Amino acid sequence: MTVNTSHHKDYVSFFRQSSPYIHAHRGKTFVIMLGGDALTHENFTNIINDIALLSSLGVRLVLVHGARLQIDARLREKNISSHFHKGRRITDKQTIEYVKDAVGNLRALIESKLSIGLVNSPMHGARIRVISGNFVTARPYGIHNGIDYQHTGEVRKIDHQAVHHLLDSGYVVLLSCLGLSPTGEIFNLDVEDVATFTATRLGAEKLILFGRQQGIFNGHSELISRISPSEAEGCLKTMTSDNRRLLNAAIAACKGGVARSQIISFKEDGALLRELFTRNGAGTLISRDHYEEIRRAAIEDIGGILALIKPLEKKGVLRRRSRKELEREIRLFSVIVLDGMIIGCTALHPFPDGKTAELACLVVHKDYRSGQRGDRLLEHTESLALSQGIEKIFVLTTQTAHWFAERGFIEVSEQELPEEKKVTYSYKRQSKVLIKEPAREVV
Ligand code: ARG
Protein backbone atom coordinates (compact mmCIF):
# COMPACT_ATOMS: atom_id res chain seq x y z
CA MET A 1 0.00 0.00 0.00
CA THR A 2 1.27 3.46 -0.79
CA VAL A 3 0.84 5.87 2.08
CA ASN A 4 0.58 9.35 0.74
CA THR A 5 -1.13 12.08 2.71
CA SER A 6 -1.81 15.31 0.85
CA HIS A 7 0.74 17.03 3.03
CA HIS A 8 3.43 14.56 1.95
CA LYS A 9 2.29 14.90 -1.62
CA ASP A 10 2.80 18.68 -1.59
CA TYR A 11 6.24 18.22 -0.18
CA VAL A 12 7.22 15.52 -2.64
CA SER A 13 5.88 17.39 -5.65
CA PHE A 14 7.60 20.61 -4.54
CA PHE A 15 10.87 18.78 -4.16
CA ARG A 16 10.53 17.12 -7.54
CA GLN A 17 9.64 20.37 -9.21
CA SER A 18 12.61 22.09 -7.65
CA SER A 19 15.25 19.54 -8.54
CA PRO A 20 15.81 20.76 -12.13
CA TYR A 21 16.34 24.24 -10.70
CA ILE A 22 18.75 23.05 -8.03
CA HIS A 23 20.74 21.60 -10.87
CA ALA A 24 20.35 24.65 -13.13
CA HIS A 25 21.30 27.23 -10.49
CA ARG A 26 24.43 25.48 -9.21
CA GLY A 27 27.59 27.39 -10.13
CA LYS A 28 25.60 30.34 -11.52
CA THR A 29 26.07 33.93 -10.43
CA PHE A 30 23.10 35.75 -8.92
CA VAL A 31 23.14 39.38 -7.86
CA ILE A 32 20.62 40.06 -5.11
CA MET A 33 19.57 43.61 -4.31
CA LEU A 34 18.15 44.51 -0.91
CA GLY A 35 17.07 48.08 -0.29
CA GLY A 36 17.41 49.57 3.18
CA ASP A 37 13.71 48.94 3.87
CA ALA A 38 14.20 45.19 3.36
CA LEU A 39 17.03 45.05 5.90
CA THR A 40 14.97 46.16 8.86
CA HIS A 41 11.82 44.24 7.98
CA GLU A 42 10.90 41.37 10.29
CA ASN A 43 11.15 38.93 7.39
CA PHE A 44 14.81 39.80 6.83
CA THR A 45 15.96 36.93 9.04
CA ASN A 46 14.11 34.48 6.81
CA ILE A 47 15.64 36.07 3.73
CA ILE A 48 19.09 35.65 5.20
CA ASN A 49 18.40 31.97 5.93
CA ASP A 50 17.25 31.45 2.36
CA ILE A 51 20.35 33.24 1.07
CA ALA A 52 22.45 30.88 3.19
CA LEU A 53 20.60 27.95 1.67
CA LEU A 54 21.29 29.24 -1.84
CA SER A 55 24.93 29.62 -1.06
CA SER A 56 25.11 26.06 0.26
CA LEU A 57 23.49 24.85 -2.98
CA GLY A 58 26.46 26.25 -4.86
CA VAL A 59 24.98 29.51 -6.16
CA ARG A 60 27.57 32.27 -6.46
CA LEU A 61 26.09 35.22 -4.64
CA VAL A 62 26.67 38.94 -4.70
CA LEU A 63 24.51 40.94 -2.29
CA VAL A 64 24.04 44.62 -2.95
CA HIS A 65 22.41 46.60 -0.18
CA GLY A 66 21.02 50.09 0.04
CA ALA A 67 20.38 52.36 3.00
CA ARG A 68 17.77 54.94 1.91
CA LEU A 69 15.46 54.33 4.86
CA GLN A 70 18.28 54.42 7.42
CA ILE A 71 19.85 57.56 5.93
CA ASP A 72 16.46 59.30 6.06
CA ALA A 73 15.99 58.22 9.67
CA ARG A 74 19.37 59.60 10.72
CA LEU A 75 18.78 62.90 8.96
CA ARG A 76 15.32 63.21 10.50
CA GLU A 77 16.74 62.57 13.93
CA LYS A 78 19.21 65.41 13.47
CA ASN A 79 16.59 67.65 11.91
CA ILE A 80 18.51 67.90 8.69
CA SER A 81 16.42 68.16 5.59
CA SER A 82 17.70 66.37 2.57
CA HIS A 83 17.33 67.86 -0.89
CA PHE A 84 16.27 65.88 -3.88
CA HIS A 85 16.33 66.87 -7.49
CA LYS A 86 14.60 64.69 -10.07
CA GLY A 87 14.34 61.85 -7.56
CA ARG A 88 18.03 61.90 -6.70
CA ARG A 89 19.39 62.91 -3.32
CA ILE A 90 21.86 65.77 -3.21
CA THR A 91 24.48 64.46 -0.83
CA ASP A 92 26.31 67.36 0.78
CA LYS A 93 29.34 67.16 3.09
CA GLN A 94 27.23 66.70 6.18
CA THR A 95 24.88 64.14 4.63
CA ILE A 96 27.66 61.87 3.35
CA GLU A 97 28.73 61.38 6.99
CA TYR A 98 25.30 59.95 7.79
CA VAL A 99 25.39 57.84 4.65
CA LYS A 100 28.70 56.30 5.74
CA ASP A 101 27.34 55.77 9.21
CA ALA A 102 24.16 54.06 7.97
CA VAL A 103 25.96 51.87 5.44
CA GLY A 104 28.62 50.80 7.94
CA ASN A 105 25.94 49.82 10.41
CA LEU A 106 24.00 47.81 7.88
CA ARG A 107 27.08 46.02 6.72
CA ALA A 108 27.72 44.89 10.28
CA LEU A 109 24.09 43.80 10.57
CA ILE A 110 24.21 41.71 7.39
CA GLU A 111 27.56 40.16 8.24
CA SER A 112 26.40 39.23 11.70
CA LYS A 113 23.12 37.75 10.48
CA LEU A 114 24.99 35.66 7.94
CA SER A 115 27.22 34.39 10.72
CA ILE A 116 24.49 33.08 12.97
CA GLY A 117 24.73 29.29 12.86
CA LEU A 118 21.42 27.67 12.07
CA VAL A 119 21.14 25.82 15.34
CA ASN A 120 19.21 22.59 15.55
CA SER A 121 19.34 22.08 11.83
CA PRO A 122 21.46 20.11 9.41
CA MET A 123 22.71 23.48 8.17
CA HIS A 124 24.31 24.10 11.53
CA GLY A 125 28.03 24.41 11.05
CA ALA A 126 27.65 25.40 7.39
CA ARG A 127 29.70 28.57 7.49
CA ILE A 128 28.91 31.37 5.10
CA ARG A 129 31.95 33.50 4.44
CA VAL A 130 31.02 37.02 3.50
CA ILE A 131 33.40 39.65 2.25
CA SER A 132 33.29 43.29 1.23
CA GLY A 133 35.93 45.70 -0.03
CA ASN A 134 36.82 48.47 -2.43
CA PHE A 135 35.25 46.91 -5.50
CA VAL A 136 33.04 49.76 -6.65
CA THR A 137 34.65 52.81 -8.23
CA ALA A 138 32.45 55.88 -8.49
CA ARG A 139 32.52 59.31 -10.05
CA PRO A 140 30.57 62.40 -9.09
CA TYR A 141 27.13 62.64 -10.62
CA GLY A 142 28.11 66.23 -11.30
CA ILE A 143 26.25 69.43 -11.92
CA HIS A 144 22.86 69.23 -13.65
CA ASN A 145 20.72 72.27 -14.42
CA GLY A 146 23.03 74.30 -12.26
CA ILE A 147 22.60 71.96 -9.30
CA ASP A 148 25.72 70.36 -7.87
CA TYR A 149 24.94 66.88 -6.54
CA GLN A 150 28.21 66.92 -4.54
CA HIS A 151 28.75 63.48 -2.96
CA THR A 152 26.04 61.84 -5.00
CA GLY A 153 27.80 59.65 -7.51
CA GLU A 154 27.36 57.05 -10.18
CA VAL A 155 29.15 53.79 -10.77
CA ARG A 156 32.19 54.03 -12.92
CA LYS A 157 33.76 50.60 -12.58
CA ILE A 158 33.40 47.32 -10.77
CA ASP A 159 36.45 45.28 -10.05
CA HIS A 160 34.80 42.24 -11.61
CA GLN A 161 37.96 40.17 -11.66
CA ALA A 162 38.35 40.48 -7.91
CA VAL A 163 34.66 39.71 -7.35
CA HIS A 164 34.83 36.63 -9.58
CA HIS A 165 37.94 35.50 -7.82
CA LEU A 166 36.21 35.73 -4.45
CA LEU A 167 33.11 33.95 -5.74
CA ASP A 168 35.35 31.20 -7.09
CA SER A 169 36.81 30.83 -3.62
CA GLY A 170 33.36 30.38 -2.11
CA TYR A 171 32.74 33.84 -0.66
CA VAL A 172 29.47 35.70 -0.67
CA VAL A 173 30.40 39.20 -1.84
CA LEU A 174 28.67 42.12 -0.16
CA LEU A 175 28.45 45.47 -1.95
CA SER A 176 26.69 48.62 -0.86
CA CYS A 177 25.53 51.95 -2.17
CA LEU A 178 28.93 53.48 -1.34
CA GLY A 179 31.50 53.96 -4.06
CA LEU A 180 35.07 55.19 -3.90
CA SER A 181 36.96 57.41 -6.27
CA PRO A 182 40.62 57.13 -7.17
CA THR A 183 41.13 60.48 -5.43
CA GLY A 184 39.92 59.00 -2.16
CA GLU A 185 36.45 60.50 -2.10
CA ILE A 186 33.37 58.59 -1.03
CA PHE A 187 30.15 58.75 -3.02
CA ASN A 188 26.56 57.91 -2.31
CA LEU A 189 25.18 55.79 -5.16
CA ASP A 190 21.80 54.52 -6.23
CA VAL A 191 21.66 50.96 -4.98
CA GLU A 192 19.82 50.00 -8.19
CA ASP A 193 22.67 51.46 -10.21
CA VAL A 194 25.23 49.37 -8.31
CA ALA A 195 23.12 46.23 -8.65
CA THR A 196 22.52 46.49 -12.40
CA PHE A 197 26.06 47.56 -13.14
CA THR A 198 27.42 44.64 -11.12
CA ALA A 199 25.06 42.07 -12.64
CA THR A 200 25.90 43.23 -16.14
CA ARG A 201 29.63 43.49 -15.60
CA LEU A 202 29.87 40.10 -13.91
CA GLY A 203 27.77 38.46 -16.62
CA ALA A 204 25.37 37.25 -13.91
CA GLU A 205 22.56 34.86 -14.80
CA LYS A 206 20.12 36.64 -12.55
CA LEU A 207 19.43 39.93 -10.89
CA ILE A 208 17.00 39.49 -8.02
CA LEU A 209 15.38 42.65 -6.74
CA PHE A 210 13.55 42.73 -3.43
CA GLY A 211 10.69 45.23 -3.32
CA ARG A 212 7.72 46.06 -1.11
CA GLN A 213 5.20 44.28 -3.32
CA GLN A 214 4.89 40.74 -4.53
CA GLY A 215 6.07 41.87 -7.95
CA ILE A 216 4.76 44.19 -10.64
CA PHE A 217 1.00 44.54 -11.09
CA ASN A 218 -1.00 45.42 -14.19
CA GLY A 219 -3.84 47.94 -14.44
CA HIS A 220 -6.32 45.36 -13.13
CA SER A 221 -4.24 44.79 -9.99
CA GLU A 222 -3.15 41.37 -11.22
CA LEU A 223 0.41 40.23 -10.67
CA ILE A 224 2.41 40.13 -13.90
CA SER A 225 4.22 36.83 -13.67
CA ARG A 226 6.39 37.28 -16.71
CA ILE A 227 7.11 40.20 -18.99
CA SER A 228 9.67 40.99 -21.66
CA PRO A 229 11.93 44.03 -21.23
CA SER A 230 10.23 45.87 -24.09
CA GLU A 231 6.73 45.22 -22.74
CA ALA A 232 7.99 46.32 -19.33
CA GLU A 233 9.15 49.63 -20.78
CA GLY A 234 5.60 50.26 -21.87
CA CYS A 235 4.35 49.84 -18.29
CA LEU A 236 6.81 52.26 -16.68
CA LYS A 237 4.68 55.37 -17.00
CA THR A 238 1.87 54.08 -14.83
CA MET A 239 4.08 52.89 -11.96
CA THR A 240 4.73 54.24 -8.51
CA SER A 241 8.25 55.61 -8.22
CA ASP A 242 9.43 52.63 -6.11
CA ASN A 243 8.26 50.16 -8.71
CA ARG A 244 9.66 52.25 -11.51
CA ARG A 245 13.11 52.10 -9.93
CA LEU A 246 12.90 48.31 -9.64
CA LEU A 247 11.54 47.79 -13.11
CA ASN A 248 14.06 50.16 -14.66
CA ALA A 249 16.85 48.23 -12.98
CA ALA A 250 15.41 44.93 -14.21
CA ILE A 251 15.12 46.24 -17.77
CA ALA A 252 18.64 47.70 -17.75
CA ALA A 253 20.09 44.39 -16.54
CA CYS A 254 18.26 42.42 -19.25
CA LYS A 255 19.50 44.85 -21.87
CA GLY A 256 22.99 44.40 -20.48
CA GLY A 257 22.80 40.65 -21.08
CA VAL A 258 21.48 39.30 -17.76
CA ALA A 259 19.16 36.45 -18.72
CA ARG A 260 16.57 36.93 -16.01
CA SER A 261 15.70 39.77 -13.66
CA GLN A 262 13.21 38.88 -10.96
CA ILE A 263 11.26 41.19 -8.66
CA ILE A 264 9.93 39.70 -5.43
CA SER A 265 8.67 40.86 -2.07
CA PHE A 266 10.91 41.22 0.96
CA LYS A 267 7.83 40.89 3.15
CA GLU A 268 6.82 37.42 2.05
CA ASP A 269 8.40 34.51 3.85
CA GLY A 270 9.91 32.13 1.30
CA ALA A 271 9.39 34.34 -1.77
CA LEU A 272 13.01 33.87 -2.81
CA LEU A 273 12.80 30.09 -2.72
CA ARG A 274 9.44 30.03 -4.45
CA GLU A 275 10.72 32.33 -7.17
CA LEU A 276 13.87 30.33 -7.77
CA PHE A 277 12.71 26.77 -7.32
CA THR A 278 9.24 26.66 -8.82
CA ARG A 279 8.26 26.99 -12.43
CA ASN A 280 5.74 29.75 -11.81
CA GLY A 281 7.85 31.71 -9.34
CA ALA A 282 6.47 34.11 -6.76
CA GLY A 283 6.93 37.53 -8.31
CA THR A 284 7.62 39.10 -11.68
CA LEU A 285 10.17 37.70 -14.07
CA ILE A 286 11.59 40.09 -16.65
CA SER A 287 13.36 38.19 -19.37
CA ARG A 288 13.99 38.00 -23.03
CA ASP A 289 14.53 34.27 -23.07
CA HIS A 290 12.04 31.62 -24.07
CA TYR A 291 10.55 31.19 -20.63
CA GLU A 292 7.29 30.27 -22.29
CA GLU A 293 7.09 29.70 -26.00
CA ILE A 294 4.85 28.11 -28.54
CA ARG A 295 6.60 26.26 -31.34
CA ARG A 296 6.55 23.27 -33.69
CA ALA A 297 7.40 20.06 -31.86
CA ALA A 298 10.68 18.21 -32.30
CA ILE A 299 11.57 14.60 -31.72
CA GLU A 300 12.94 15.38 -28.22
CA ASP A 301 9.48 16.54 -27.19
CA ILE A 302 7.87 13.12 -27.47
CA GLY A 303 8.46 12.17 -23.83
CA GLY A 304 6.91 15.43 -22.68
CA ILE A 305 3.92 15.10 -24.98
CA LEU A 306 3.29 11.54 -23.81
CA ALA A 307 3.41 12.64 -20.17
CA LEU A 308 0.91 15.37 -20.96
CA ILE A 309 -1.64 13.30 -22.86
CA LYS A 310 -1.49 10.01 -20.90
CA PRO A 311 -3.89 11.12 -18.12
CA LEU A 312 -6.46 12.16 -20.72
CA GLU A 313 -6.10 8.94 -22.67
CA LYS A 314 -6.73 7.05 -19.46
CA LYS A 315 -9.91 9.02 -18.89
CA GLY A 316 -11.02 8.31 -22.44
CA VAL A 317 -11.02 11.98 -23.41
CA LEU A 318 -8.35 11.36 -26.03
CA ARG A 319 -7.83 8.30 -28.15
CA ARG A 320 -4.68 6.36 -27.40
CA ARG A 321 -1.50 7.16 -29.27
CA SER A 322 1.58 4.99 -29.08
CA ARG A 323 5.11 6.32 -28.94
CA LYS A 324 5.64 4.92 -32.44
CA GLU A 325 2.67 6.82 -33.77
CA LEU A 326 3.89 10.00 -32.13
CA GLU A 327 7.33 9.53 -33.61
CA ARG A 328 5.78 9.25 -37.04
CA GLU A 329 3.60 12.29 -36.59
CA ILE A 330 5.76 14.55 -34.47
CA ARG A 331 6.14 17.16 -37.21
CA LEU A 332 2.38 17.70 -37.12
CA PHE A 333 2.49 18.72 -33.47
CA SER A 334 2.96 22.12 -31.88
CA VAL A 335 3.80 22.56 -28.22
CA ILE A 336 3.78 25.19 -25.48
CA VAL A 337 6.95 24.93 -23.44
CA LEU A 338 7.23 26.56 -20.03
CA ASP A 339 10.80 26.69 -18.81
CA GLY A 340 11.61 23.36 -20.42
CA MET A 341 8.37 21.55 -19.55
CA ILE A 342 5.71 20.81 -22.15
CA ILE A 343 2.43 22.14 -20.79
CA GLY A 344 0.35 22.16 -23.94
CA CYS A 345 0.18 20.54 -27.36
CA THR A 346 -1.93 20.09 -30.42
CA ALA A 347 -1.62 18.46 -33.82
CA LEU A 348 -2.78 19.45 -37.27
CA HIS A 349 -3.27 16.52 -39.66
CA PRO A 350 -3.67 17.67 -43.26
CA PHE A 351 -5.68 15.50 -45.63
CA PRO A 352 -4.54 14.49 -49.11
CA ASP A 353 -6.79 17.09 -50.74
CA GLY A 354 -4.46 19.70 -49.24
CA LYS A 355 -7.42 21.88 -48.29
CA THR A 356 -8.74 20.20 -45.16
CA ALA A 357 -7.03 19.28 -41.94
CA GLU A 358 -7.96 17.81 -38.62
CA LEU A 359 -7.05 19.58 -35.43
CA ALA A 360 -6.39 16.86 -32.89
CA CYS A 361 -5.03 16.29 -29.45
CA LEU A 362 -5.44 19.85 -28.14
CA VAL A 363 -4.33 19.59 -24.54
CA VAL A 364 -3.24 22.02 -21.83
CA HIS A 365 -1.77 20.66 -18.57
CA LYS A 366 -4.32 20.83 -15.76
CA ASP A 367 -2.20 23.22 -13.65
CA TYR A 368 -1.89 25.73 -16.48
CA ARG A 369 -5.42 26.08 -17.76
CA SER A 370 -6.07 29.64 -16.61
CA GLY A 371 -3.76 31.44 -19.01
CA GLN A 372 -5.73 31.14 -22.28
CA ARG A 373 -3.15 28.75 -23.55
CA GLY A 374 -5.77 26.72 -25.41
CA ASP A 375 -6.65 29.86 -27.35
CA ARG A 376 -3.02 30.51 -28.13
CA LEU A 377 -2.56 26.97 -29.40
CA LEU A 378 -5.66 27.30 -31.53
CA GLU A 379 -4.55 30.65 -32.98
CA HIS A 380 -1.11 29.28 -33.64
CA THR A 381 -2.56 26.25 -35.42
CA GLU A 382 -4.98 28.33 -37.46
CA SER A 383 -2.20 30.51 -38.76
CA LEU A 384 -0.14 27.42 -39.48
CA ALA A 385 -3.09 26.00 -41.42
CA LEU A 386 -3.47 29.22 -43.40
CA SER A 387 0.19 29.21 -44.31
CA GLN A 388 -0.27 25.67 -45.64
CA GLY A 389 -3.23 26.66 -47.80
CA ILE A 390 -5.76 24.83 -45.63
CA GLU A 391 -9.30 26.14 -45.94
CA LYS A 392 -11.16 24.03 -43.44
CA ILE A 393 -10.19 22.69 -40.04
CA PHE A 394 -12.33 20.14 -38.30
CA VAL A 395 -12.23 18.61 -34.87
CA LEU A 396 -13.73 15.49 -33.42
CA THR A 397 -14.52 15.76 -29.77
CA THR A 398 -16.54 13.92 -27.18
CA GLN A 399 -16.34 16.40 -24.32
CA THR A 400 -15.27 19.85 -25.43
CA ALA A 401 -17.58 20.74 -28.31
CA HIS A 402 -18.77 23.88 -26.50
CA TRP A 403 -15.21 25.19 -26.17
CA PHE A 404 -14.72 24.92 -29.93
CA ALA A 405 -18.21 26.28 -30.65
CA GLU A 406 -17.34 29.40 -28.63
CA ARG A 407 -14.38 29.85 -30.92
CA GLY A 408 -16.18 29.82 -34.21
CA PHE A 409 -16.41 26.08 -34.90
CA ILE A 410 -19.76 24.89 -36.25
CA GLU A 411 -21.19 21.47 -35.56
CA VAL A 412 -21.80 19.36 -38.66
CA SER A 413 -22.75 15.75 -39.34
CA GLU A 414 -19.98 13.16 -39.59
CA GLN A 415 -21.02 12.84 -43.26
CA GLU A 416 -19.17 16.12 -43.91
CA LEU A 417 -15.86 14.50 -43.01
CA PRO A 418 -13.39 13.81 -45.81
CA GLU A 419 -13.74 10.24 -47.13
CA GLU A 420 -10.52 9.00 -45.49
CA LYS A 421 -11.73 10.16 -42.12
CA LYS A 422 -15.21 8.69 -42.50
CA VAL A 423 -13.62 5.28 -42.77
CA THR A 424 -11.90 5.61 -39.41
CA TYR A 425 -14.72 7.49 -37.69
CA SER A 426 -15.58 5.50 -34.61
CA TYR A 427 -19.32 5.23 -34.12
CA LYS A 428 -18.66 3.82 -30.70
CA ARG A 429 -17.05 7.04 -29.51
CA GLN A 430 -19.89 9.12 -30.97
CA SER A 431 -17.62 12.16 -31.27
CA LYS A 432 -19.14 15.41 -32.38
CA VAL A 433 -17.73 16.88 -35.57
CA LEU A 434 -17.10 20.61 -35.81
CA ILE A 435 -15.69 22.67 -38.64
CA LYS A 436 -14.07 26.08 -38.92
CA GLU A 437 -12.49 28.08 -41.69
CA PRO A 438 -9.29 29.50 -40.25
CA ALA A 439 -9.62 33.20 -39.56
CA ARG A 440 -7.55 35.33 -41.92
CA GLU A 441 -6.97 38.12 -39.43
CA VAL A 442 -5.21 35.75 -37.04
CA VAL A 443 -1.49 36.22 -37.24
N1 ARG B 1 12.28 29.23 -11.02
C2 ARG B 1 12.54 29.74 -12.31
C3 ARG B 1 13.71 30.69 -12.26
O4 ARG B 1 14.30 30.91 -11.28
C5 ARG B 1 11.33 30.36 -12.96
C6 ARG B 1 10.77 31.53 -12.23
C7 ARG B 1 9.56 32.06 -12.91
N8 ARG B 1 9.13 33.27 -12.26
C9 ARG B 1 8.04 33.98 -12.59
N10 ARG B 1 7.76 35.06 -11.87
N11 ARG B 1 7.29 33.63 -13.59
O12 ARG B 1 14.13 31.23 -13.22
Domain locations along the chain: 10-289, 293-436
Kindly give the number of the ligand 1 atom that is closest to the alpha carbon of 283. 10
pLDDT band of 35, cuts 50, 70, 90: very high
Query: pLDDT tens digits for 206-250?
Result: 999 999 999 999 888 899 999 999 889 988 888 888 899 999 999
Query: pLDDT tens digits for 60-91?
Result: 999 999 999 999 999 999 999 888 888 889 99
Q: What is the pLDDT of residue 443?
A: 36
Q: Is the pLDDT of residue 121 over 70?
A: no
Q: Is 339 in the pocket of ligand 1 (CB under 6 A)?
A: yes
Residue ID of nearest Cα to ligand 1 atom 3: 276
Label the pairing between strands 226-227 and 88-90: unpaired
Pocket test for ligand 1, best of 30, 206, 279 (most atoms within 8 A of CB): 279
Query: pLDDT tens digits for 126-142?
Result: 678 999 999 999 999 99
Kindly give the number of the ligand 1 atom that is closest to the alpha carbon of 21. 1
Q: What is the pLDDT of residue 119?
A: 60
Helices 44-56, 93-115: axis angle to 10 degrees equals 60
Q: What is the pLDDT of residue 442?
A: 38
What is the whole-number distance in angstroms between the Cα of residue 37 and the centre of ligand 1?
A: 24
Q: Is 281 in the pocket of ligand 1 (CB under 6 A)?
A: yes
Q: Which CATH superfamily is domain 293-436 in?
A: Gcn5-related N-acetyltransferase (GNAT) (3.40.630.30)
Residue ID of nearest Cα to ligand 1 atom 8: 281
| pTM of the entire predicted model | 0.80
What is the whole-number distance in angstroms between the Cα of residue 286 and the centre of ligand 1?
A: 9
Cβ distance 65 to 191 under 8 Å? Answer: yes
Per DSSP, the residues of 134-147 read: S-EEEEE--EETTE
* pLDDT, greater one: 27 or 428: 27
Q: Do the domains spanning 10-289 and 293-436 agree at the CATH topology level? A: no
**In the CATH hierarchy, which fold is given to the domain comprising 10-289?**
Carbamate kinase (3.40.1160)
Q: Is 224 in the pocket of ligand 1 (CB under 6 A)?
A: no
Q: At 82, phi and psi to the nearest 5?
A: -95, 145
Beta bridge partners of 85: 88
Alpha-carbon distance values, 18 to 44, 167, 271 (Å): 23, 24, 14
Helices 191-202, 241-255: axis angle to 10 degrees equals 20
All residues at 6 or more sequence positions from 242 whose CB lies less than 8 Å from its CB, including other chains: 211, 212
Q: Is 283 in the pocket of ligand 1 (CB under 6 A)?
A: yes
